[in-house]
Amino acid sequence: MLGDFLTPQERIDLSPQIADETKTTTCYMCACRCGIKVHLRDGEIRYIEGNKDHPVNKGVLCGKGSAGIMQHYSPARLTKPLRRVGERGSGEFEEIEWDEALGIVAERMKKIRADDPKKLAFFTGRDQSQALTGWWASQFGTPNHAAHGGFCSVNMAAAGLYTIGGSFWEFGEPDWDHTEYFMMFGVAEDHDSNPIKMGLSTLKARGAKFVSVNPVKTGYSAIADEWVGVRPGSDGAFVMALIHELLHADKIDLDYLVRYTNAPWLVIKDPGADDDGLFVRGADGEPLCWDQNTKQIADARLAGVAPAVVGEYTLEDGRTAVPSFQLMADRYLDNNYGPEAAALRTGVAANHIRRIAAELAEAAFDKEIVLDVEWTDWAGRKQDKMIGRPVAMHAMRGISAHSNGFHTCRAIHLLQMLLGTIDVPGGFRYKPPFPRPCPPPQKPAGKPGQVNANTVLPGPPLGFPTGPEDLLVDEDGTPQRIDKAFSWEAPISAHGMMHMVITNAWKGDPYPIDTLFMFMANMAWNSSMNLSGVIDMLTDRNPETGDYKIPFIVYSDAFWSETVPYCDIILPDTTYLERWDAVSLLDRPICSADGPADAIRQPVVEPARDVRPFQSVLIDLGARIGLPGLTNDDGSAKYPGGYADYLVNHERTPGIGPLAGWRGEDGDSHGTGAVNPNQLGRYIENGCFWSHEFPENQRYYKHANKDYLEYAASMGWIGSSDQIVMQIYSEPLQRFRLAARGHGDIQPPEEHRARIGGYFDPLPTWYRPFESQDGGEDEYPFFAITQRPMAMYHSWGSQNAWLRQIHTSNRLYVNRTQAELEGLEDDDWVWVISHHNRIKCQIRLMEGVERNTVWTWNAIGKRKGSWNLSPDAPEAKQGFLLNHVISELLPPKESGYRYSNSDPVTGQAAWYDLRVRLEKAEPGDETSQPQLDTLPSTNNASVGERILRYGARFKPKRPVEPQSGGDGA
Ligand code: SF4
C-alpha cells in the first residue's frame, strides 16, 4: 500500500516557549558565584541557564547550578519561625510569628550587650555576607565572631597574606592563557568548580602540562597529565625538595627576588639578643640591605641600590647580619630537604622529584614569555616589556587542612617566588583587591579593656597579628575569645576557630557564654569534629541548675538540617533565589586578575512561606537591639528596607559601600562615590554584576606596578601606592618565636613556650602532621581523608532530589594492592578505628589512591530523619561521616593540657591529619555505624512538602501534577 511508504509529516517546534520571563542573578549552589539566568513561567522557575555575559562563568553552568531548582523547591525547607518546646534534640517546636521570634532574640541580646557583650558568640558558616556579619558583631561589641574560614582554609589565606599579600582560591588565579606548567596541590572538585574547569580546558587545548599533587586520583587529578600521589600532609616536604633542587641547579630568578621580595633584607644574627632574627632597620623603621655599589648599609626599598643576597655583614654596632636569601638558601640546600629525604616522607621517588624540578626550571626559564607591554614600576622606572615565567600553582584544602598546612602553603609561595612567577605573564596572578601589604594592617579587636557594655568594638573581630602585642589575651595569657583565636594556642588564627566554639562554650573555657547565634553552619553534623561529643554538649545540662550548659542557641537556616533540632529559636532563611545579596569587594568578590568585579542576587521569586532573608533579619535585630550603626539618632531603624536598603545606603567609609558599581548620585563612578539610589537597578540592567577591565599596563606585576598601585589606593583597597614586598622570611613569626624564647614584655605561659618556639619558624618548615607524630603511624597505619564530589557542595545538596541521584551513599575507598595485603575485598564492611572513636562502613577498592591512604566523599552521610529524608534513605543507612572518628582535641600533653586539633600557627582545623586502622566487620549487618537516633522530620517542625518530581507540569501535551509523599530520590 502506497500509504505505508509515506513519511508522515512531522512538525517539530524548534523554539517552544518555555518561559514567559527571565531574571538574572548569582548562583549559590557552591561558592563560585557564577552568573545565571532564571527562566520563569507563570511565576514558577522553569529552568536555570548560565549567563554568557558573566565574568565568572561566561555562560558555563555545572550540574549543581542547574539543580538549583530542586534546592529552591526542596522538601527540607523551613517555612515558619520556630520555638523549641521539647528537649533539645527532640525536634519538638511550636510555630511562632516573626515579631515574637525577633522580640525574644532581641530582648536577650539587649541584656547581654548591657552586661557583657562577649557572652554573645556569633558564628556563621559558608555564607557570603561576612562584610555585614563581621561589622554587625563589632557594632554589638563582641569579639566572638567568625565565619567558617577557621575550619575551611585559613592556612591558605593566612600563609598567602603573610607571604605574598594575596592567596589562592578566589583571591588569585593561574594565568590560564599563558602558563606552560600548572601544578595543583590538594584541590577537590569544587574548590573551585566552573572557573577551574574552564581554565583546565584552556590549558589542555593549548597543550600546557598539568600536574596534580593529591593522594587521590579523582576529579581534576584524573584528567591531569601527571598525577603525583603524595602521602597526606607531606606536600611541604615535596615542595621543599623541589626548592632544594632548583637552588642546587641555580635555576632561580635572582633579579625577581631582589626587586620584589625581601630576599636582600638583612636579618640580625645575634643569638640570645632581643632582636635576634629580626630585620635590621633604619631610623624610620625602613628595612636595610647591603649595597654592593657603595659597600654600605642602605635602605632596601630604594630603587638604585644593588643589594647583596648572600654573605655576612657587620653592622655599625659590631654585630653581624645576613640577607634573608642566605638564611633561606642555607636551609633548603641542606640534604635534609633533598629528594632522598623527601622520598621517605612523601612516597614520591627521588628521581621523580628531580625530574619535576627540572621541568619546572625548563618551563620557567626556557619558555620565558615576553609581552610587548610598557609599564611603570613602583619607583617610576619605565619598563618596555612584561617578562613572564610560565609556571603557575594552585592549592586548596588538601594542603590547608593539616596541622602543617600554614608552612606548606608558605613553601608553595616560596617556590613560586624563586621561579619568579608571581603576577607575571604565565604565572599565578593576584585578583584585586589583592595584593595587600604582607600581612594586611588590620588587627583583631577584643583585647582586655576593648569589650565593654553597650559599646561598639573598636575594630573588626578578625585581623592579622604581627607580634605578641596583637594577641587577644590578658596579662597571664588567658584567651579573650570563646574559640581561643588570637591566643597562644593559635596566634595567627585570622579566620577564628569555629570548630572549637561549642566545646569551649560547653566547658565554660575561658568563660561561659549566654547565647550561641549561628547562621547556615551545620555544627551538629558535618561541620563538627567529635560529632557525638558535640551533640552531647549541645544537650548537656548543669546538674546544679538544670539549665543547658550552652544556655541559649539561636539558629538561622533555610533547611531542616541536623542542627535545627538542637536550637532554641529558629529563624527560617530564604533560598538564594528569593533574596537580595551582595558579592562584595568588602568581602569575597568575584574579581578576575584583569579587573575588579562584584555582583548581587535579586529575588527571582517571592517566598510562599513565612521566611525572611537572614541578612535582613540581622539588620532588623540590630535595630531592635539599638546598635549604633543600625539606628538613627531618634532610635528608628536606619535601614527599614532591609538588606537591599543597606546595600545601597550603607557606607563603610565615606564613598565606599558594599557595592562598587554605579556609585555617585547619577551612577557615573565606580569604587568610590556617593550613594546612588538607583544602584540596584543598574546592577539588574547589567545582569546583576559590575566589572571593570584594567588597561594592559596594569594587568601584571601588581605588587610593583605604579599605575595599578595608584588605582588600588584610589579604590581604597590599600592605604598607599607603596610597593608590596613579598616575604620569603617572615618577621612576624620570628617575633612570636622570640617571645617564646623569653624576650619582650608579652611572653607565652610556660606550657605554650616550646610549641610557639618550635612552630613559629620565619622560614617555611615541614614536620609530620600531629596525628602522625609520637608513633601514631604505627598503631593507625592509614591516613583517612575526604574529597568533595562535583555534585554537592558540603551538605548543601543533601535534600536536592536531582543531585541525590548521583550520590546517595558513600564508600571508603582503599588502594587495591594494600587492601589485598590487609585481607580486604571489594564491598567488605570494615570498622574504621582512630585514637578517638570507630565507625563502620563499606569499602570499595581502587588503584588511584596512595597506598597508605583511604578516603571518602565528604558530607554524603546523613542522620536519619534530617533534611526531611526518609529514615531509610541510603544517606542514613549506608552513608557515613568520618567526623565521628576525628577529635577536636589532641591527646593530652604531660601537663594535662589538650590543644585543639589545629594548625599551631593559624588554628586551622586539621581535618586531614586523621589516622586510622581498618578491621574487617562481621558479615551480616549492612548498615553503617554509628546510627544515631532518628530525628523527627515533620512531627512538630514546619517543613515543606516532599516534592518528588518537578517540571512535568510544564509539558504541554502530557500534563502531570507534581507528586508528594516520597523520599525525594
Ligand atoms: S560552579 Fe558553583 S556557582 Fe557555578 S554554576 Fe556550578 S554550583 Fe553554581
H-type alpha helices, 127-282: 130-140, 149-152, 154-163, 194-206, 219-222, 235-248, 254-260
| pLDDT digit string, tens, across residues 314-365 | 999 999 999 999 999 999 999 999 999 999 999 999 999 999 999 999 999 9
For a pocket test of ligand 1, which of 25, 26, 29 has the largest count of ligand atoms closer than 8 A to its C-beta? 29
Give backbone dihedrals phi and psi of 201, rounded to 5 degrees, phi first. -70, -35
Q: Give the integer Cα–Cα distance in Å for 426 and 336.
A: 31
What is the amino acid identity at position 854? Answer: V
CA 678 to mean position of chain CA atoms: 33
In this prediction, residue 960 has a pLDDT band, given cuts at 50, 70 and 90, of: very low
> Could you tell me which residues come within 8 angstroms of residue 946 by beta carbon, excluding any fewer than 6 positions away?
75, 868, 964, 965, 966, 967, 968
Instruction: Decide: 797 in ligand 1 pocket, CB within 6 A.
Output: no
Cα Rg of the chain (Å, integer): 28
Q: Cβ of 228: how many Cβ atoms within 10 Å?
A: 24
Q: Determine the angle formed by the axes of helices 235-248 and 350-361, rounding to 10 degrees.
A: 60
For the chain, give percent helix, strand, coil, nearest 5. 30, 20, 50
What is the amino acid identity at position 811? Answer: R
Mean pLDDT of the region 821-849: 97
| pLDDT digit string, tens, across residues 461-484 | 999 999 999 999 999 999 999 999
Determine which helix (DSSP H) or strand (DSSP E) holds 289, and give its type and residue range: strand 288-291
Q: Give the integer Cα–Cα distance in Å for 945 and 966.
A: 10
Determine which helix (DSSP H) or strand (DSSP E) holds 346, and give its type and residue range: helix 339-346
Q: Give the integer Cα–Cα distance in Å for 57 and 51.
A: 7
Give backbone dihedrals phi and psi of 122, rounded to 5 degrees, phi first. -120, 110
For a pocket test of ligand 1, which of 49, 57, 126, 590 has the largest count of ligand atoms closer than 8 A to its C-beta? 57
- CA-based max dimension of the chain: 113
> How confident is the model at residue 879, as a pLDDT?
96
CA 968 to mean position of chain CA atoms: 30
Q: How far is the CA of 465 from the centre of ligand 1 (A)?
A: 34
Q: Ligand 1, atom 4: nearest CA belongs to which residue?
A: 34
For a pocket test of ligand 1, which of 24, 49, 61, 581 has the largest count of ligand atoms closer than 8 A to its C-beta? 61
**Quick one: which of 246, 254, 256 has its CA closest to 356?**
246
The count of residues in the chain is 969
Instruction: Check if the beta carbon of residue 381 is closer than 8 Å to that of residue 371.
Output: no
| pLDDT digit string, tens, across residues 757-798 | 999 999 999 999 999 998 778 899 999 999 988 888 888 887
Given the CA of residue 61, which atom of ligand 1 is nearest to it? 5
In this prediction, residue 962 has a pLDDT band, given cuts at 50, 70 and 90, of: very low
> How confident is the model at residue 10, as a pLDDT?
65
Residue 941 has pLDDT above 90, yes or no: no
> How confident is the model at residue 968, as a pLDDT?
32
The cell 582535641 sits on which residue? 889
Q: Give the integer Cα–Cα distance in Å for 261 and 269.
A: 20
In this prediction, residue 966 has a pLDDT band, given cuts at 50, 70 and 90, of: very low
Give backbone dihedrals phi and psi of 732, rounded to 5 degrees, phi first. -55, -40
Instruction: Decide: 193 in ligand 1 pocket, CB within 6 A.
Output: yes
| pLDDT digit string, tens, across residues 405-439 | 999 999 999 999 999 999 999 999 999 999 999 99
> How confident is the model at residue 189, as a pLDDT?
75
Residue 910 has pLDDT above 70, yes or no: yes
Instruction: Check if the beta carbon of residue 157 is closer than 8 Å to that of residue 149.
Output: yes
Mean pLDDT of the region 189-201: 88
> Could you tell me which residues come within 8 angstroms of residue 197 by beta carbon, excluding any fewer than 6 positions away?
60, 62
> How confident is the model at residue 34, as a pLDDT?
97
Q: Determine the angle formed by the axes of helices 614-625 and 130-140, rounding to 10 degrees.
A: 20
Instruction: Decide: 27 in ligand 1 pocket, CB within 6 A.
Output: yes
**b or e along 427-455 (b: 16 or more beta carbons within 10 Å of the residue's beta carbon)?**
bbbbbbbbbbbbbbeebbbbbeebbeeee
Mean pLDDT of the region 874-883: 95
Beta strand extents in 391-436 (DSSP E only): 391-395, 428-430
Instruction: Decide: 429 in ligand 1 pocket, CB within 6 A.
Output: no
What is the amino acid identity at position 784? Answer: A
Q: Give the integer Cα–Cα distance in Å for 485 and 158.
A: 13
Q: Give the integer Cα–Cα distance in Å for 418 and 261.
A: 10
Q: How far is the CA of 938 from the centre of ligand 1 (A)?
A: 30
Instruction: Decide: 33 in ligand 1 pocket, CB within 6 A.
Output: yes
Determine which helix (DSSP H) or strand (DSSP E) holds 313, and give its type and residue range: strand 313-314
Instruction: Check if the beta carbon of residue 67 is closer than 8 Å to that of residue 28.
Output: no
Instruction: Decide: 32 in ligand 1 pocket, CB within 6 A.
Output: yes
DSSP string, 737-790: HHHHTT-SS----HHHHHHHHHH--SS------GGGSTTHHHHS-EEEEEE--T
Q: How far is the CA of 589 from the centre of ligand 1 (A)?
A: 15
Cis peptide bond prior to 956, omega within 30° of 0: no
Mean pLDDT of the region 917-946: 80
> How confident is the model at residue 17, as a pLDDT?
80
> How confident is the model at residue 948, as a pLDDT?
64
Instruction: Decide: 67 in ligand 1 pocket, CB within 6 A.
Output: no
Cell matching residue 509: 573555657
Q: How far is the CA of 189 from the centre of ligand 1 (A)?
A: 12
Given the CA of residue 793, which atom of ligand 1 is nearest to it? 7
Q: For residue 217, what is the DSSP state? A: -
Given the CA of residue 50, which atom of ligand 1 is nearest to it? 5
Q: Give the integer Cα–Cα distance in Å for 523 and 563.
A: 6
Residue 6 has pLDDT above 70, yes or no: no
Residue 370 has pLDDT above 50, yes or no: yes
Q: Give the integer Cα–Cα distance in Å for 559 and 238.
A: 42
Q: Give the integer Cα–Cα distance in Å for 795 and 178.
A: 36
DSSP string, 868-936: G--TT-HHHHT---GGGG--SBPPP-TTS---BSB-TTT--B-GGG-EEEEEEPPSS----B--PPPPP
Instruction: Decide: 407 in ligand 1 pocket, CB within 6 A.
Output: no
Q: How far is the CA of 812 from the centre of ligand 1 (A)?
A: 27
Judging by beta carbons within 10 Å of its beta carbon (0-12, 13-18, 19+), is residue 5 exposed, middle or buried?
exposed
Instruction: Check if the beta carbon of residue 42 is closer than 8 Å to that of residue 573.
Output: no
| pLDDT digit string, tens, across residues 30-88 | 989 999 999 999 889 999 999 999 999 999 999 999 999 999 988 889 999 999 999 99
Determine which helix (DSSP H) or strand (DSSP E) holds 101, and give its type and residue range: helix 98-115
Q: Which residue has the higher pLDDT, 897 or 448?
A: 448
Residue 659 has pLDDT above 90, yes or no: yes
- Pairing assessment for the beta strands 386-388 and 181-185 based on DSSP bridges: unpaired
SS3 assignment, position 426: coil
Instruction: Check if the beta carbon of residue 32 is closer than 8 Å to that of residue 799.
Output: no
Q: Give the integer Cα–Cα distance in Å for 513 and 251.
A: 55
Residue 947 has pLDDT above 90, yes or no: no
**Quick one: which of 842, 835, 859, 866 has its CA closest to 932?**
866
Q: Give the integer Cα–Cα distance in Å for 103 and 551.
A: 18
Instruction: Check if the beta carbon of residue 274 is closer than 8 Å to that of residue 283.
Output: no
Give backbone dihedrals phi and psi of 202, rounded to 5 degrees, phi first. -65, -45
**Quick one: which of 558, 745, 609 has its CA closest to 77?**
558
SS3 assignment, position 683: helix
In this prediction, residue 937 has a pLDDT band, given cuts at 50, 70 and 90, of: low
pTM of the model: 0.96
In this prediction, residue 239 has a pLDDT band, given cuts at 50, 70 and 90, of: very high
Q: Which residue has the higher pLDDT, 901 or 964?
A: 901
